Structure 1
Amino acid sequence: MSVNSLNAIPLRFRFQTCLTLNIIDEQCIVSAVLVHDMSFIPAVLRSLCLSIMCSCLQIPQWCAEFCLSAQYQHGVVVCSQIQRRQAVDLALRVADEMDINIGHEIGYSIPLETCCSNDTILRFCTDDVLLREMMSDPMLEHYGVVVIDQAHERTVSTDVLLGLLREVLLQQPELRVVVLSAPPASDTLLTHYGNVPCLHLDAPCAGEVIHSNSSSAESFYSALRLALEVHRSREPGDVAVFLASEQEVVCACNILTKEATRMSVSLGELIAVPLCPGHTGMCPQITESPQKRRRVFISCSQSEDLFWLVDTITFVIDTGVEKRLVYNPRVRASSEVIRPISKCQAEMRKRLTGSTGKCFCLYPEDVQLPAEIPPRILESNITSTALYLKRMETAGIGHCDFISRPDPEGLMQALEELDYLAALDNDGNLSEMGIIMSELPLDPQMAKALLASCEFDCASEMLTIAAMLTAPSCFIDPPVGMVTEVMRCHVKFQHPEGDHFTLINIYNTFKRSQKEPCDQEQWCEEYFLCCDALQTSDAIRAQLTDILKRIELPISEPAFGTKTNALNIKRALLAGYFMQIARDVDGSGNYFMLLNKHVAQVHRLSGYGAKAHKLGLPEWILFHEYNLSDNNCIRTVTQISPQAFLQMVPQYFFCNLPPSESKEILQHILDRDRTGNARTKPQPAAMETKTEEAESHDRCVVQ
């Protein structure tokens, strides 16, 4: 059946009207991949296999109508999305089509924002929100139908959901699960879940497809030149350009915006619109009428589904490559890999133009594309996933039937890291510390640091650090020709103790100096900071504060700026990030990392990078992030002392460190402290900091 015939089914109806049209058989429910029966789907659709763009609107409505017909005996409907922006937009669109107010019968839940009520019967949410909801309701007893959309993207959260739901269905057979996917990923799902009903919706035929022989190295500028040529041709219609990464999207928007100012006014206005997960503010250019203007939507991987709002695409320019971060458990770092997109992605992009448009594929026609999008769970750090699954075992779900099982080496590294963080007991089960860590929507290392801060009386400051590092970066990439000016603005916030303290300075100044939203935006523009990122940090900090209060952990009064507070912040950071310590081996900024024996440099945007030539670099540092592909740099760096590290590091982790000169230095300090404490003379006032470290040794029970 074609999309047009599917669209002929009326959408603007309330639930009661839908029932009178007999679109639902109240006895059963569909499962595109998982459950039991399809008899409630209109008979004209039953011969057809999985999802297209419009199904994310219609199928959740059909499911809600089924639940209504059963008078919600088994619960309501939830539909998961991989992107928060799409969850909101789908909820708004469905509420509009059904002529009801958002937040009542139709609602949404995304991180840091909920628009629902007790009357909500169809809720759109992100997959990570649904996962966290399962921690308190592992059997999803509140729901009659669970819809998993965009399953073909194979994100970590989606794969975990699909694995857990199969176990839930064994214990909760009345639950209905609908999985929406694009082929050929649907074949993988069907193979994994066995003989289950399958609904196939035919997508529109692709228009003219034109391949080129340009190499991937040339595809970025080739795509931009082609977009400008399309505009000069005066042929009507908008353009969709698919690049390798979000960084390229931002760069391309800047280039096209600049080029558009040089073009003849007679060609009409050219507007570059970023459309990717990190830049989906749904600005007016996306939905407004394109009269006397041409929009060039610039996007990247995982963004094909974002085009469901745009029906004016006539030209698609596809570079055919994507840039993805792939995690290496051996060195505990990610690296950027550029590789071809999948056939699944290529087909979805070709069909965006409809049957009358043109798709320019900037790769040869005979190039071999992988059949499916690689599962993220095979390429990501799964320490947070392992902690979550341990929590679900505690909640009563002892098995997750993965479609693609995680790499054994990555899983062992994740469990080892949880053990180092004291999240597991001697039997490998979740410890009391691990249960509390799983309550926090943070990576395990940051969760451990935040919990330790409650002991060291610096929770207020650590809440700020956790929020700033969890939210997108507040630093804006310097515009061309303004690097010096931007660095001059940022240096005003730099703290001598390190980048973690600099983040506290930025947040405190943001909160203290600005009272109105308009003032906040103006202040951020003045200092080249991202207002949205800082507002997100503020919301995350409020959420984390509420969680600490709920689990009755103490939150100290702010004491930022004192020596004792600075020492305690470093102790708290070391409680979580003792695995990320490095030493300057030659005094020139070549930092040797104790855990993996790699050498890296401090990122140029670090406070230490800016003052390296004036004050010199610290010998020992703690870092938040190491990326092999980012010029082999370490980011967010704070100076520490080896004594503080030895105080906080678990003994068995220190023993497992690979041999090195740095480890020998630490062992020497440790041996000297063990044998020399009894003969140590009284320390002068200048050594007060070291005395505080020694006196507080017995307090370090967070391990």
Structure 2
Amino acid sequence: MSALLGEIQKLPVYREKGRIIDLVTKNKVLLVTGETGSGKTTQIPQFLLERGEKERIACTQPRRISAVSVAERVSQEMGCELGALVGYSVRFDEKTTSQTRLKYMTDGMLLREAILDHDLTQYTTIVLDEAHERTVATDILMAVLKGILRRRDELRVVVMSATLQKGSFAEYFSQPPCLSISGRTFPVDVVYTEKPQEDYVQTAIETVLGICSDTAEGDILVFMTGEMEIEEACERIRASTRGKTAVYPLYSALPPHKQRAVFGRERGRRKVIVATNIAETSLTIEGVVYVVDTGFSKQKVYNPRTRIESIVVSPISQASAQQRAGRAGRTRPGKAYRLYTAESFAAEMEEQTPPEILRSSLCTVVLLLKMIGIDDLVRFDFMSPPAPETMMRALEQLNYLGALDDDGNLTELGRRMAEFPLDPQLSKAILSSDAYKCTDSVVTIASFLAVPSVFHRPADRKSAAEKAHRAFASKDGDHFTFLAIHREYLENRSVGDEWCRRNFLSRRVLENMLDVKRQIGSICRKQKMVFTSQPLDGSSVPKIKKALLRGFFMQVARVQKRDVYSTVKDEQRVVMHPSSGVKRESRWIVYNELVYNMKDIFIRTATEISPEWLLGVSPGYYNLSEFQESLAKRELVGIENRKRVKNKAEKLSAKSSRNRK
């Protein structure tokens, strides 16, 4: 413990302890900029606990892994069990007690707490960490906290980050004091490529192998965009270095114990960590001397015209590039290899990553704000106001879902939907399942959609994995594939590790899914829903499809030709993802998400439906007079006309029967 204390006292932030406590005591808001390695995330909340026994602190993080790993570290430093004095709260996972005084949590979880407690009265101080990432939840929290500060004179707010844009944050919070804390950094030599790289994964692997060949020591951190790229790179680096390096992946869907493994020290071997942008600022990994930056990350984008929100691989900003390079200079002078040209950095990369709120659907945000009691969205104090069209689309979609009435007021259905920490479409599908008596099945499907992908596809055994996955494919659609996996996993849970290995499935994700299902189920029971379960047969399958359609009726497509579909109403050309098990002759489908690549927009997780079901699901949305001319419109108009003729014939028949009597 004394060694740990000595380590803490060497942190740059420790020298500012007294000043930080004094500034927070005397000011409602404090801005803190702290370079990577300054110790701000772990130490400042601990300093503030010393303000008194009544101090209760929430410290938000943009990512689950950060909230959990920092809480573990701080509980260790304070010599207490995790969940006692120090705890954490992330979606579908919480470790706190009534004694918890310092809670690390995702920004989204604190926002959800504001639904039940509009003024967040259980906290005396709220710390918004990594504010520069400008997630939707952090931006909303800043605006909500400005309102709370006017009502609660005793509340204190600390906004901190590694690269806080002082000017914009200071202006937003009316010029509060700002404290800058230096980090423990060394010079970093930045190297660019001479020409653009066609295959950045291949170039990154070659760069890592070159570093291993040319230098004797120093760990390497490689930035890539996602799980598949990372796992492929790790396998190829392991094979090429033949055990001479310890290679670790790092991404948010990784099991917690594997995430923690990157922080360990290797004896006699160089460590190579291949990570997403999670390693830019949220986590500090000791020993890194070399950084390999591919120049890309996955970012959320939203098109309000087509209502399509997708994750796309995009160039990073100059600020992100600087953060990545800075990771190489923590323990000694380092080197950053940028796999793009100096001209690309200067001319093609944006200075800062645009705030997430400017490139996201606002459906969930609007629903949460309504629940918090904020009705005047036009005058809401956004730090970066979203486009009016995006806001109008969110209000329109929530109205179609029945969450808002025609005047924009929250309905009883909307209140029930907001209780689920899920997208509004998924919440609506779950609530609709009660009427169809298929709640257990729809909650199971929702639980799979709320966790990372359960499918594991190792680069060197891709064909074997795909064959194993096809064995679960359901003729009824991809949503029903989840039900098949769920059923078989429960039957084989006692030998789960072996069963998952054989079927190329992630046991961690399956256990996570079951935990999520339990928590969604408890919300359903609280809402007096009946948790019914039916065998999958000709009677129950259409009911499950109809319940899903009640939530996802805005995500329907009609076939144009084999594997090529067109979204209904907006006529967006989309392609069935190769991993989908949907029958290729399926004419109408409901889908969960669209995924972009460089050439196409792919439908992922789809199920066949009957077009006859669409006309009654949301009359406002399926107002055919507003549809573009298309095959889908002509078919739906034909269905509507036949239905009208049938209803008229039935009325005439009934009238004739009464006259005969």
Q: TM-score, normalised by structure 2?
A: 0.89
| CA contact 2:232–2:459 (8 Å) conserved in 1 | no
2:541 paired residue number:
566
Higher deviation after alignment, 632-641 or 314-323: 314-323
Q: Could you tell me which of 319, 322, 325 is aligned with 2:300?
A: 325
CA deviation map 1:281-304 (0-9, x unaligned): 353642333211111111232421
CA deviation map 1:402-459 (0-9, x unaligned): 1111122222111111010011112111111111110111111111111010111111
1:29 paired residue number:
24
Whether 2:521 is the aligned partner of 1:520: answer no
CA drift at 1:339:
4.2
Q: Tell me how far apart the structure 1 counterparts of residues 400 and 315 of structure 2 sit (CA, whole Å).
A: 38
SS of 2:479's equivalent in the other structure is helix
CA drift at 1:482:
4.0
| CA contact 1:82–1:126 (8 Å) conserved in 2 | yes
Q: Which runs of 5+ in 1 are unaligned?
A: 1-5, 12-17, 39-47, 262-267, 682-703
1:158 paired residue number:
138
* Residues 137-216 of structure 1 mapped to structure 2, 5 A cutoff: 137-212=117-192, 213-216=194-197
Q: Could you tell me which of 399, 419, 422 is aligned with 2:399?
A: 419
SS of 1:189's equivalent in the other structure is helix
Q: Could you tell me which of 39, 42, 47 is aligned with 1:62?
A: 47
CA drift at 1:678:
5.4
| CA contact 2:221–2:288 (8 Å) conserved in 1 | yes
| CA contact 2:369–2:375 (8 Å) conserved in 1 | no
Q: Tell me how far apart the structure 2 counterparts of residues 627 and 571 of structure 1 sit (CA, whole Å).
A: 24
Q: Could you tell me which of 337, 343, 362 is aligned with 1:360?
A: 337
* Residues 318-397 of structure 1 mapped to structure 2, 5 A cutoff: 318-334=293-309, 337-354=312-329, 355-365=332-342, 367-368=345-346, 369-393=349-373
| CA contact 1:249–1:299 (8 Å) conserved in 2 | yes
Q: Tell me how far apart the structure 1 counterparts of residues 460 and 278 of structure 2 sit (CA, whole Å).
A: 28
SS of 2:211's equivalent in the other structure is helix
CA drift at 1:152:
0.8
2:577 paired residue number:
603
CA drift at 1:663:
1.2
Q: Could you tell me which of 597, 607, 610 is aligned with 1:629?
A: 597
Alignment length (residue pairs): 633
| CA contact 1:594–1:658 (8 Å) conserved in 2 | no
SS of 2:18's equivalent in the other structure is coil
Q: Tell me how far apart the structure 2 counterparts of residues 304 and 410 of structure 1 sit (CA, whole Å).
A: 29
CA drift at 1:635:
1.6
| CA contact 2:302–2:360 (8 Å) conserved in 1 | yes
CA drift at 1:575:
0.9
Q: Could you tell me which of 608, 614, 639 is aligned with 2:608?
A: 639
Q: Could you tell me which of 505, 509, 532 is aligned with 2:488?
A: 509
Q: Could you tell me which of 534, 547, 554 is aligned with 2:530?
A: 554
| CA contact 2:191–2:335 (8 Å) conserved in 1 | no
* Residues 216-615 of structure 1 mapped to structure 2, 5 A cutoff: 216-261=197-242, 269-279=244-254, 281-283=256-258, 285-308=261-284, 310-334=285-309, 337-354=312-329, 355-365=332-342, 367-368=345-346, 369-393=349-373, 400-477=380-457, 479-480=459-460, 482-483=462-463, 485-515=464-494, 519-556=495-532, 558-586=533-561, 588-608=562-582, 612=584
* Residues 65-104 of structure 1 mapped to structure 2, 5 A cutoff: 65-66=50-51, 68=52, 71-72=53-54, 75-104=55-84
Q: 1:678 to 1:513 in 2, by over 3 A?
A: farther
Amino acid at match of 1:383: C
Amino acid at match of 2:224: L
| CA contact 2:438–2:543 (8 Å) conserved in 1 | yes
Q: 1:362 to 1:582 in 2, by over 3 A?
A: closer
SS of 2:336's equivalent in the other structure is strand
CA deviation map 1:574-633 (0-9, x unaligned): 1111112222234x333222121022232211112xx53xxxx12222111122438322
Q: 1:277 to 1:487 in 2, by over 3 A?
A: closer
Q: Tell me how far apart the structure 2 counterparts of residues 645 and 121 of structure 1 sit (CA, whole Å).
A: 51
| CA contact 1:245–1:301 (8 Å) conserved in 2 | no
Amino acid at match of 1:649: S
CA drift at 1:49:
4.4
Amino acid at match of 2:589: I
CA deviation map 1:160-190 (0-9, x unaligned): 1112111111111211010112235233211
Q: Which runs of 5+ in 2 are unaligned?
A: 1-5, 652-661
Tell me how large the CA RMSD over aligned residues is: 2.8
CA drift at 1:337:
4.8
| CA contact 1:581–1:623 (8 Å) conserved in 2 | yes
| CA contact 1:153–1:302 (8 Å) conserved in 2 | no
Q: TM-score, normalised by structure 1?
A: 0.84
| CA contact 2:470–2:581 (8 Å) conserved in 1 | yes
| CA contact 2:66–2:283 (8 Å) conserved in 1 | no
Q: Could you tell me which of 600, 611, 629 is aligned with 1:659?
A: 629
Higher deviation after alignment, 496-505 or 216-225: 216-225
Higher deviation after alignment, 192-201 or 334-343: 334-343
Q: Tell me how far apart the structure 2 counterparts of residues 397 and 92 of structure 1 sit (CA, whole Å).
A: 38
SS of 1:653's equivalent in the other structure is coil
Q: Tell me how far apart the structure 1 counterparts of residues 547 and 446 of structure 2 sit (CA, whole Å).
A: 11
Aligned-pair identity (%): 31
Q: Tell me how far apart the structure 2 counterparts of residues 637 and 338 of structure 1 sit (CA, whole Å).
A: 23
Q: Tell me how far apart the structure 2 counterparts of residues 234 and 426 of structure 1 sit (CA, whole Å).
A: 67
